[in-house]
Amino acid sequence: MWSGPGVMVRTLDYHAEDLGSNPTPDKLAKKSPTGKPVTTIAHNTSASSLYISWKPPPPDTILGEFLGYRITYRKRDPNSEDVKEIYIRDSSVEEMKTRYLTWEETIGPPPIRQRLCCWDRELLELRCFLVLGHEIHNLQTYTQYLVSIQVFNPEGLGPPTTVLVMTDEGVPSKPRNLSILEVTSTTIRISWQEPERKNGVIHGYRVYYVYQNQTLLHLPILKSDAIQNSIYYYTLSSLKPFTDYRIIVAAFTMKYDGETTEVSVRTDISGPSAPKFVNLTCYSEDALFLAWRIPQHFYNSVNHYIVSYRNMDYTRSREIRISANASIVETSVVLQNLSTDASYELKVRAASISVINPNKVILGPYSELRKITLKANCDQHPPPSLYHPYADYDLIVLAGAVICCFGLLLVILAIVLWKKCFNTTYTNEADSVIADQKQQQQQQQQTQIDWKATCDTNGVIQTTVPVTKIMQNGNHRHLTIDGD
């Protein structure tokens, strides 16, 4: 249908008898068609289908009996030899011609076939063409196809009309070869390759990681930022030590997020916290006794202690390594073969074996530096105090918590007792006041005279007389006396 200002045009189908006499087969040479269809529309309708429409060639180029159309399509890839065919055989098509329409012919029933109409400004006539279409399905996503259309008669095929059409983008497949390259206590380095089926233009990748029922997304990784020799690299940072992570990677296009691939890994441990000295004593004139507590924080286990000591007259330090056990709270050692009348500084650190690489030892920080001087007969003198305000930090915190809870309990108990006593006193006082008020009312009622009540005096019943009656009786007596 075509419409303009004050004009509505409806296209019709025309049969052979409407066009006058057709050329007889005797007048036509037995040849293949020379005309070819003209493509009007060619586009994708989804990620796996295409639509193409065309108008037929001029009737005089069919050169024989019209049988239909042949559609062929194949991938644009030059190595692709898989050509597929579709034959459209419709006997009614041969009766449809292309010619000019008069104004009277534009009024009529709806068309059976779609027609494309345009106004010829030179001839001032409306020219309409029959338009046929077909949709091709089961194609590969985001792939270029060469589609050809030919008309054919009993003698063969006419020349083809070929167009290039591409299916729409789809969901990318999952990235390939997701691998763990390096793991530390706070980082995980990964790599992957592009999806086997991109199904569109890959703009980047999304990397998710899941731990403790939490899902976090690192910033989207643009395609050009992480690629090296067709392999993508990325490092997740700021992770927690000795924690299980599930890493998920997906490609994305302008339209879709792709399928995901994932891998699970646990981060490595970090070094234990610093041990705390609990004793440092002159054991003899050439030996020291020292003891320390296990680190307050560690992952998995504590495997070694490393004691570093130095004669303050020299710059070189010496170290000894002691096997550790996480179940032992305090560890001690005696350092022998030291110099008398010399001052020493000592420190200790803990170490754990990596859960990723058993040959790697992860060291923790050193404890606070301690100093002591060896002297003759120093073991007869009391050792210096190693008390530190933070040595019993856990006990202090626990004692403080207990005291706070006990104080809070006392406050709550005092409030409850106060409310209970206050409410009881208030209730008793209110009850006594109400009782006094009732007693006073009863006494007042008893002291009041009941003028309506009767009394019996020696068998004579006496009662009250209203004042109005007394006044009436008095007037009556006065009148009687005056009358006498």
Here the tokens at position 449 are: 């005279």
pLDDT digits (tens, 9 = 90+) for 123-166: 666 656 566 889 999 999 999 999 999 999 999 999 999 999 99
Instruction: Identify which of 357, 352, 308, 354 has the alpha carbon closest to the alpha carbon of residue 333.
Output: 308
pLDDT reported for residue 483: 43
d(CA 454, CA 226): 119
d(CA 107, CA 232): 65
pLDDT reported for residue 97: 39
Give 422's pLDDT tier (boundaries 50, 70, 90): low
Reply yes or no on whether the pLDDT at 235 is more than 50: yes
pLDDT digits (tens, 9 = 90+) for 291-348: 999 999 999 889 999 999 999 999 999 999 999 888 889 999 999 999 988 999 999 9
pLDDT reported for residue 376: 81
pLDDT reported for residue 460: 54
HEC string of the chain equals CEEECCEEECCCCCCHHHHCCCCCHHHCCCCCCCCCCEEEEEEEEECCEEEEEEECCCHHHCCCCCCEEEEEEEECCCCCCCCEEEEEECCCHHHCCCCEECCHHHCCCCCCCCEEEEEECCCCEEEEEECEEEEECCCCCCCEEEEEEEEEECCEECCCEEEEEECCCCCCCCCEEEEEEEECCCCEEEEEECCCCCCCCCCEEEEEEEECCEEEECCCEEHHHHEECCEEEEEECCCCCCCEEEEEEEEECCCCEEEEEEEEEECCCCCCCCCEEEEEEEEECCEEEEEEECCCCCCCCCCEEEEEEEECCCCCCEEEEEECCCCCCEEEEEECCCCCCCEEEEEEEEEEECCCCCCCEEECCCCCCEEEECCCCHHHCCCCCCCCCCCCHHHHHHHHHHHHHHHHHHHHHHHHHHHHHHHHHHHHHHHHHHHHHHHHHHHHHHHCCCCCCCEEECCEEECCCCHHHHHHHHHHHHHHHHHC
Average pLDDT estimate for 420-439? 60
Whole-prediction pTM value?
A: 0.59
Give 480's pLDDT tier (boundaries 50, 70, 90): very low
Reply yes or no on whether the pLDDT at 118 is more than 80: no
pLDDT reported for residue 418: 74
Average pLDDT estimate for 42-68? 90
Contact 58, 73 (CB under 8 A): no
pLDDT reported for residue 135: 93
pLDDT reported for residue 389: 42
pLDDT digits (tens, 9 = 90+) for 70-107: 999 999 887 777 899 999 886 444 444 344 444 444 44
Average pLDDT estimate for 98-121? 47
pLDDT reported for residue 365: 95
Judged by average pLDDT, the poorest of 37-46, 330-339, 395-404 is 395-404
Reply yes or no on whether the pLDDT at 420 is more than 50: yes
Reply yes or no on whether the pLDDT at 350 is more than 90: yes
Domains of the chain plus CATH, in order, are 2-166 (2.60.40.10), 176-266 (2.60.40.10), 276-393 (2.60.40.10)
Higher confidence at residue 291 or residue 426? 291
pLDDT reported for residue 407: 82
pLDDT reported for residue 160: 94
Higher confidence at residue 25 or residue 323? 323
Reply yes or no on whether the pLDDT at 273 is more than 90: yes
d(CA 147, CA 126): 30
pLDDT reported for residue 403: 86
Instruction: Identify which of 185, 359, 351 has the alpha carbon closest to the alpha carbon of residue 266.
Output: 185
Q: What is the mean pLDDT of the chain?
A: 77
d(CA 295, CA 272): 6
pLDDT reported for residue 2: 40
pLDDT reported for residue 245: 95
Higher confidence at residue 160 or residue 450? 160
What proportion of the chain, given as a percentage, has pLDDT over 70? 67
